[in-house]
Amino acid sequence: MTEQPQSYRRKPHVVPTDLPADVTPARVRTFVRRGRLSPLTTERLEQFGPARALPAGPFDQKAAFGRVAPLVLEIGCGHGHAAIAYAAHFPSHDILAMDVHTPGIARALAQADAAGVPNLRVEEGDAVVFLEERVADHTFDAIHLFFPDPWRKKKHTKRRFVSPTNLDLLARVLKPGGHVLIATDQDFYAEHVLAEVAAHPRWTASRLDRPTWRPRDGFEAKGIAAGRRINELRLDLV
């Protein structure tokens, strides 16, 4: 099997199994791991990955993009459709797209190359770990979270991305006046977000119109086809 490029090898966060009874793990995954890679995925990673991968070490926008510009992070970019559309619509901005699903990352890389958007970088990995370990305070102007896993079952509520801990983290890495855009076709998830934000002293939430630049595909298209409302939320730092 062809070895994956260094920038795209999985580096899973390992939770210890021998913790004392009064100690809990620091992180809870908000995603599900998947299986081995296909030849096409490996080929795409090798062909398109190096040009859009981040340099190792602490995140540095100028080193990654060759300039300093308004900077957006998309968490859970899937196949990259929204990130590519944003990059094309806002060429004066930079956008970093992240996901844990390697085939999706590979497809996003191939489609970004076809679209010819120079202001997009793609990184595989857990966004929470990335933000905690590699990102300085006040780095991003905005963060996008489009159609995250809603974790429907009550026992999985703690896996939802919007949580007090993650709201603290996003507040740290956003610049003053920064915001988060969230879209979901699950009303219960939108209510969860609004409740979490209402209980947090650093954030306010509002509903807004759908951004015109975002393509209608993927989970959004499925939600519309099923007759579900698309909830568009904006979280602002206070």
- Give the residue numbers of the binding site: 74, 99, 126, 149, 153, 185
The residue among 24, 28, 42, 53 whose CA lies nearest residue 149 is 28
Q: Does 76 fall in a domain?
A: yes
146 neighbors 127 (Cβ within 8 angstroms): no
Q: Does 47 fall in a domain?
A: no
Instruction: Look at the chain and report how many structural domains it folds into.
Output: 1
Q: Does 46 fall in a domain?
A: no
Q: In the chain, where do the E strands start and end?
A: 71-75, 94-99, 120-124, 140-146, 174-184, 203-207, 231-237
Q: Does 200 fall in a domain?
A: yes
To the query of whether residue 137 is one of the catalytic residues in this protein, the response is no
Residue 33: what pLDDT? 52
Amino acid identity of 11?
Answer: K
Q: Catalytic one among 60, 113, 149, 236? A: 149
Q: Does 94 fall in a domain?
A: yes
Other Cβ atoms within 10 Å of 222 Cβ, number: 12
Residue 157: what pLDDT? 87
Residue 185: CATH number of its domain: 3.40.50.150
Residue 154: what pLDDT? 78
Domain limits for position 82: 70-237
pLDDT in single tens digits along all 238 residues of the chain: 444 444 444 344 444 444 444 433 445 555 445 568 899 999 999 999 999 999 999 999 999 999 999 999 999 999 999 999 999 999 999 999 999 999 999 999 999 999 999 999 999 999 999 999 999 999 999 999 999 999 988 788 889 999 999 999 999 999 999 999 999 999 999 999 999 999 999 999 999 999 999 999 999 999 999 999 999 999 999 9
Residue 26: what pLDDT? 46
Q: Does 207 fall in a domain?
A: yes
In angstroms, how far is the first alpha carbon of the chain from the final one? 50
Report DSSP state, residue 102. H
Q: At what angle do helices 187-198 and 164-173 cross, to 10 degrees?
A: 70
Q: At what angle do helices 164-173 and 127-134 cross, to 10 degrees?
A: 50
191 neighbors 152 (Cβ within 8 angstroms): no
Residue 37: what pLDDT? 87
Q: Does 37 fall in a domain?
A: no
Can you tell me the distance from the alpha carbon of 55 to that of 40, in angstroms, rounded to the nearest whole number?
A: 24
Residue 4: what pLDDT? 41
- Give the residue numbers of the binding site for substrate: 153, 185
Can you tell me the distance from the alpha carbon of 229 to that of 23, in angstroms, rounded to the nearest whole number?
A: 40
Q: Does 112 fall in a domain?
A: yes
pTM for the model stands at 0.85
